[in-house]
Structure 1
Amino acid sequence: MDSIFSLIGSYIDWDFKSLLLFTVVFIIAADFVKNRRPVGFPPGPLPLPIVGNMFSLDHTRTHEALTQLAEKYGDVYSLRMGQVWMVVLNRFEVLKEALVTQGDSLADRPQLPMQHDVTHGLGIGFTNGHMWRQQRRFALSTLRYFGFGKKSLEPVILDEFTHCAEEFRSFKGKPFNPHLAINNAVSNIICSLVFGHRFEYSDEKLGRCSSTIFIVFFFDNSIVPISSFVQLYNSFTVLMRRLPGPHQRFFQIWRAMFDFIRQEIKEHKQTWDPSEQRDYIDCYLKEIQMNKGKRDNTFDEENLIMCVVDLFAAGSETTSTTLRWAFLYMAKYPEIQEKVQAEIDRVIGQSRHPSMEDRANLPNTDAVLHEIQRMGNIAPLSLPHSTNRDVQLGGYTIPKGTTIIPNLTSALFDKNEWETPFTFNPEHFLNEEGKFMKRAAFIPFSAGKRLCLGENLARMELFLFFTSFMQHFTFSMPAGVKPVLDYRFGITLSPKEYEICAIARQE
């Protein structure tokens, strides 16, 4: 009897193993058939079953890993992230062809689960079609009305610099971390445009807002859809929504940001007068009122919240991160800092604030700022695009609905475009006569129809803030400390936390 049970047990055990083996083989075969590379699709590294190339990249330096893959697979190649095929574009000429020449075909954003669970299909940055066009048009026209990119905004920026400079002077030349003060200063410019007022640096609301934006930009790879936990979420959404993990903390951070803006809107409505337009929120509330009942209306309070988030994203973190890189580069290259200060002293002096009109007379200062942006490489992978029709790129056919990753790093460090691509060299932006020279491959804000919404504001802020800081301070590292140019990879490429000394030049 025992031998019979033993025989049955071994049969069941063998049968279970066979079933398990069959299941595994079936899943792998089904995955291969479902997700095989389309005919004419760009080449790329061999993907693993189910997960694709999800775990084959170094996600602490994704932009560098993608640039290196181009050396093997060409300027246009493909990756499979989970169940989604993506095409990575490298080198300036390829990016120009895709984003500018064929810009209409790549004007969409991919609609991925994690991104949708954050935005709910609202806002400016990640919407498409009528929603995107209507909201972007309204945002640009409204912000121009309040001085966006115009001379009338200069006093707001320079006044904010005065507050930030007071904060820097309070350390009396001793080492301090400039991160929070810079975040607060830049965030206050957007606050002035959107909320109609600035916050004191000691205000908890501004501190929470600035900190939340930074955390979101550091942890949120949902808009640069190559990080492993984002791909797990996008590939196994139903399961991941119910599991604990970093994605749950990520959603919690976003909710805090939304709650902050929702409260501002609530306070606005208590004093709102439709005949008086104080800021972006007032104009949007009026637009909601005017568009009620219209068939193609996209204006409501939930969309207002998401649009305000997009404006903060476009006009704050990238600028503050660039300025933090600027302090580090000036401390690392004191001879360049001295040359910038000498030019500012000669053209502007110490008795007045700089103006955007001074830019033409400060070619070296302008060149140094551009080189900081190039080397800082703030948005290394830009934001993802999606094809809205079949397109031909690099001799390959890319089907409609394919996610496109524009590798801006490959343009900013393109050996065919820059004389010394990996060296900090402001001469890249100066001609033989020492005049400022534009470079086509300088695309830190991307290019084409999805060009960064906050580009004009960022350019103005960067020039006025950087020139003002150089006019009033000399930056150096604490005694015995060397500048470290290591970065932290996220949506933006930010310097690791550091302390610096800001010595007031008047003293």
Structure 2
Amino acid sequence: MWNTYLNGRVNIPGPIPWPIVGNLPMLLRTKNPNKLFLELRMKPLWLRSFVKLFKGQTSLVFSNGQEWVAGRKFTAAALKDFGVGTKSIEERIHEETRYLIDFFSKSQNSSIDASKLFPKVASNVVSNIIFGERFDHEDPEFIRLLENVQFIIEQNSPFRPDNFFPILEVFRTTNQLQAAVERFNETKECIRRRIDKQRLTFDPCVIRNFLDLYLAQEGKQDSKISESYLFNTIVDMYFAGTDTTSGALQWCMLYMLKFPDVQLKCRAEILEAIGDSRLPKLSDREDLSYVNATLHEIQRIATTAPMAVPHTTLEDIYIEGKLIPKKSILLCDLMSVHLDPIVWNEPDIFRPERFLDDKGHFLRSENFCPFSLGNNNLKIIWYLLEPWSIVNFIIIAKIVPIHHACHVLKVNPHMFFTFLNKGPRQCVGKHLGEAELFLIFTSLLQRFDLIKANPDQTLSTEGKQTFVTLEPQPYEMKFVIRN
């Protein structure tokens, strides 16, 4: 982030900063910066909103150039061909689900640490798409790969103080940044070995997985994907596919433990619609309204990626006379709409029924955006914070649905900036993540009772921030084969 900042201070609305450190102490005082942002945006004297209608304009962008465009097309095509939107997605996820069912069946009386189990599950689905095969959970190479990914994620949290003040690195007992670089290089070497191995069996007429898709276009003059870009993309897929999906699965299990009545309703609907003679399929979603409502409510109240993925502006722009400089970091506050009392009645209450209509059918909401904005028909109110006076600023976006805009206008009716979001801005693995959550969640509830490892254990819904995700505090649980 430091390298993206411009020199000098920008006169942008926001909390009054301290000298040198700006508003950094404000972030350090809380374990959950996302909740702090929610508090700040409710203070009209601290935060101001700009209003401007963007109709197809490109002056404010989140992408990082043409390389991003080419890379997204390549990755989206690979996910579509080898997992997303095709029958193979079920085959790949079912393969991992069968392993889980077998594992839990053999360890009913064992306490399971969800924070250690589900990263392996999520990573294996990604591995299946990239390499065409899954790892054994105890495979040393797989364990090391996960350790490296987790270490890099922890060292690159956007809320680490030394992420904004590199000089703080010299006060650390060990150079964690260098260690992260070494882990990253080790991960790339592991991927390189996989690529070299797959070249030996590559057949351009039979594309088996993500690597084959790359090998098929390798060396072509019109190819825009380099080997270096491929490495980074695969690592990104592990980061995103492991961190977010694992976190979402952990939240799902936690809320089933906290609300056993909801767990019973979900299981009853699954057994009535599917039975227990086969695993659930993606085509079953239409028959599982309450399950869908529950999954949506969990993702709403426990937004796995509260700030989505940071992006930067490509050029200087002015809005209402205020400069938003080139290379400013843009964070979109997804949690702001998910916990907005204007949008949801009692947003802090877990209530799956809010996603059901009067007849009990699943009800989609335009206010639901767990995988970033994408094509959601939402207006955006940009609340501009100035967290650090010595460097540049981060723009925090509060999301407000169109039909609630008038209510918000009462705060600052003459300075209201909106952005009608269009285009492929959602997470490229959105459909893969949704499929994993649905298939794994329903398959486990179909066959097991989910119970707390310790009946007296208090489960906290306060999350902890990692790279870009919010994960629950560690907890243990048991999977008991249902009667």
Q: TM-score, normalised by structure 2?
A: 0.81
1:227 aligns with 2:157: no
Q: Could you say which residue in structure 1 is the equivalent of 2:122?
A: 186
Relative contact order (alpha carbons < 8 A, sep ≥ 6): 1 or 2 greater?
2
Q: Could you say which residue in structure 2 is the equivalent of 1:494?
A: 471
**Do the aligned partners of 1:217 and 1:492 also contact (CA within 8 Å) in 2?**
no
AA in 2 matched with 1:459:
E
Whole-angstrom CA distance in 1 between matches of 2:89 and 2:43: 47
Q: Could you say which residue in structure 2 is the equivalent of 1:253?
A: 183
Whole-angstrom CA distance in 1 between matches of 2:211 and 2:361: 42
Question: Any stretches of 5+ residues in structure 2 without a counterpart?
Answer: 1-6, 375-423
Whole-angstrom CA distance in 1 between matches of 2:46 and 2:133: 46
AA in 1 matched with 2:475:
Y
Structure 1's 396 and 246: CA in aligned 2 closer, same or farther, altered over 3 A?
same
Q: Using the TM superposition, give the Cα deviation of residue 391 of structure 1 relative to its aligned residue in structure 2, in angstroms.
A: 5.1
1:218 aligns with 2:154: yes
Q: Could you say which residue in structure 1 is the equivalent of 2:381?
A: none
Q: Could you say which residue in structure 1 is the equivalent of 2:234?
A: 308
Structure 1's 395 and 470: CA in aligned 2 closer, same or farther, altered over 3 A?
farther
Q: Using the TM superposition, give the Cα deviation of residue 433 of structure 1 relative to its aligned residue in structure 2, in angstroms.
A: 1.5
**Do the aligned partners of 2:127 and 2:133 also contact (CA within 8 Å) in 1?**
yes
Q: Could you say which residue in structure 1 is the equivalent of 2:106?
A: 170
AA in 1 matched with 2:290:
N
Once the two structures are superposed, the pairs formed by residues 341-356 of structure 1 within 5 Å of their partners are: 341-356=267-282
Whole-angstrom CA distance in 2 between matches of 1:373 and 1:215: 25
Q: Could you say which residue in structure 2 is the equivalent of 1:37?
A: 10
**Do the aligned partners of 2:83 and 2:432 also contact (CA within 8 Å) in 1?**
no
Q: Using the TM superposition, give the Cα deviation of residue 397 of structure 1 relative to its aligned residue in structure 2, in angstroms.
A: 5.1
**Do the aligned partners of 1:175 and 1:499 also contact (CA within 8 Å) in 2?**
yes
Correspondence for 1:63 among 26, 29, 34: 34
AA in 2 matched with 1:441:
N
Structure 1's 241 and 37: CA in aligned 2 closer, same or farther, altered over 3 A?
same
Structure 1's 212 and 162: CA in aligned 2 closer, same or farther, altered over 3 A?
same
> Deviations 1:447-487 (Å, cap 9, x if unpaired)?
13431111010011111111111101111112322323232
Q: Using the TM superposition, give the Cα deviation of residue 410 of structure 1 relative to its aligned residue in structure 2, in angstroms.
A: 1.0
Whole-angstrom CA distance in 2 between matches of 1:503 and 1:395: 62
Correspondence for 1:370 among 296, 305, 313: 296
Whole-angstrom CA distance in 1 between matches of 2:55 and 2:476: 44
Structure 1's 362 and 208: CA in aligned 2 closer, same or farther, altered over 3 A?
same
**Do the aligned partners of 2:155 and 2:180 also contact (CA within 8 Å) in 1?**
yes
Correspondence for 1:472 among 447, 462, 470: 447
AA in 1 matched with 2:186:
A
Whole-angstrom CA distance in 1 between matches of 2:480 and 2:322: 55
AA in 1 matched with 2:16:
L
Once the two structures are superposed, the pairs formed by residues 332-347 of structure 1 within 5 Å of their partners are: 332-347=258-273
1:384 aligns with 2:310: yes
Residue aligned with 1:157, SS:
helix
Structure 1's 134 and 266: CA in aligned 2 closer, same or farther, altered over 3 A?
same
Deviates most, 411-420 or 48-57: 48-57
Whole-angstrom CA distance in 1 between matches of 2:456 and 2:165: 44
Residue aligned with 2:239, SS:
helix
Q: Using the TM superposition, give the Cα deviation of residue 255 of structure 1 relative to its aligned residue in structure 2, in angstroms.
A: 2.7
Q: Could you say which residue in structure 2 is the equivalent of 1:11?
A: none
AA in 1 matched with 2:62:
D
Structure 1's 271 and 440: CA in aligned 2 closer, same or farther, altered over 3 A?
same
Whole-angstrom CA distance in 2 between matches of 1:185 and 1:49: 46
Whole-angstrom CA distance in 2 between matches of 1:190 and 1:152: 13
Q: Using the TM superposition, give the Cα deviation of residue 48 of structure 1 relative to its aligned residue in structure 2, in angstroms.
A: 3.0
1:46 aligns with 2:22: no
**Do the aligned partners of 1:363 and 1:436 also contact (CA within 8 Å) in 2?**
yes
Q: Using the TM superposition, give the Cα deviation of residue 54 of structure 1 relative to its aligned residue in structure 2, in angstroms.
A: 2.6
Structure 1's 379 and 105: CA in aligned 2 closer, same or farther, altered over 3 A?
farther
**Do the aligned partners of 1:314 and 1:453 also contact (CA within 8 Å) in 2?**
no
1:360 aligns with 2:286: yes
Q: Could you say which residue in structure 2 is the equivalent of 1:287?
A: 217
AA in 2 matched with 1:503:
V
**Do the aligned partners of 1:106 and 1:386 also contact (CA within 8 Å) in 2?**
no
1:455 aligns with 2:430: yes
Once the two structures are superposed, the pairs formed by residues 391-410 of structure 1 within 5 Å of their partners are: 398-410=324-336
Q: Using the TM superposition, give the Cα deviation of residue 390 of structure 1 relative to its aligned residue in structure 2, in angstroms.
A: 5.0
Correspondence for 1:107 among 44, 61, 64: 61
Q: Using the TM superposition, give the Cα deviation of residue 318 of structure 1 relative to its aligned residue in structure 2, in angstroms.
A: 0.9
Whole-angstrom CA distance in 2 between matches of 1:54 and 1:273: 54
> Deviations 1:247-303 (Å, cap 9, x if unpaired)?
333333323322322222222223333443221112112212223xx5xx5322222
> Deviations 1:104-154 (Å, cap 9, x if unpaired)?
444335xxxxxxxxxxxxxxxxxx222111111111112212232323321
**Do the aligned partners of 1:76 and 1:393 also contact (CA within 8 Å) in 2?**
no
**Do the aligned partners of 1:474 and 1:504 also contact (CA within 8 Å) in 2?**
yes
Correspondence for 2:351 among 425, 428, 434: 425
Q: Could you say which residue in structure 2 is the equivalent of 1:125?
A: none
Q: Could you say which residue in structure 1 is the equivalent of 2:457?
A: 481
**Do the aligned partners of 1:54 and 1:231 also contact (CA within 8 Å) in 2?**
no
**Do the aligned partners of 1:322 and 1:373 also contact (CA within 8 Å) in 2?**
yes
Residue aligned with 2:331, SS:
strand
Residue aligned with 2:109, SS:
coil
Q: TM-score, normalised by structure 1?
A: 0.77
AA in 2 matched with 1:495:
P
Deviates most, 448-457 or 143-152: 143-152
**Do the aligned partners of 1:363 and 1:435 also contact (CA within 8 Å) in 2?**
yes
AA in 1 matched with 2:37:
L
Whole-angstrom CA distance in 2 between matches of 1:47 and 1:307: 37
Whole-angstrom CA distance in 1 between matches of 2:42 and 2:73: 40
Whole-angstrom CA distance in 1 between matches of 2:367 and 2:237: 26
**Do the aligned partners of 1:364 and 1:426 also contact (CA within 8 Å) in 2?**
yes
Structure 1's 285 and 62: CA in aligned 2 closer, same or farther, altered over 3 A?
same
> Deviations 1:65-115 (Å, cap 9, x if unpaired)?
1221212257966xxxxxxxxxxx99xxx9xx89x9678444335xxxxxx
**Do the aligned partners of 1:445 and 1:455 also contact (CA within 8 Å) in 2?**
yes
Pairwise CA RMSD? 2.8
1:144 aligns with 2:80: yes
Structure 1's 153 and 217: CA in aligned 2 closer, same or farther, altered over 3 A?
same
Whole-angstrom CA distance in 2 between matches of 1:315 and 1:393: 36
Whole-angstrom CA distance in 2 between matches of 1:275 and 1:108: 37
Q: Using the TM superposition, give the Cα deviation of residue 49 of structure 1 relative to its aligned residue in structure 2, in angstroms.
A: 3.3
Correspondence for 2:202 among 272, 276, 279: 272
Structure 1's 53 and 245: CA in aligned 2 closer, same or farther, altered over 3 A?
farther
**Do the aligned partners of 1:149 and 1:460 also contact (CA within 8 Å) in 2?**
no
Residue aligned with 1:502, SS:
strand
Q: Percent identity?
A: 31
Q: Using the TM superposition, give the Cα deviation of residue 431 of structure 1 relative to its aligned residue in structure 2, in angstroms.
A: 1.4
Structure 1's 101 and 386: CA in aligned 2 closer, same or farther, altered over 3 A?
farther
Residue aligned with 1:51, SS:
coil
Whole-angstrom CA distance in 1 between matches of 2:473 and 2:154: 11
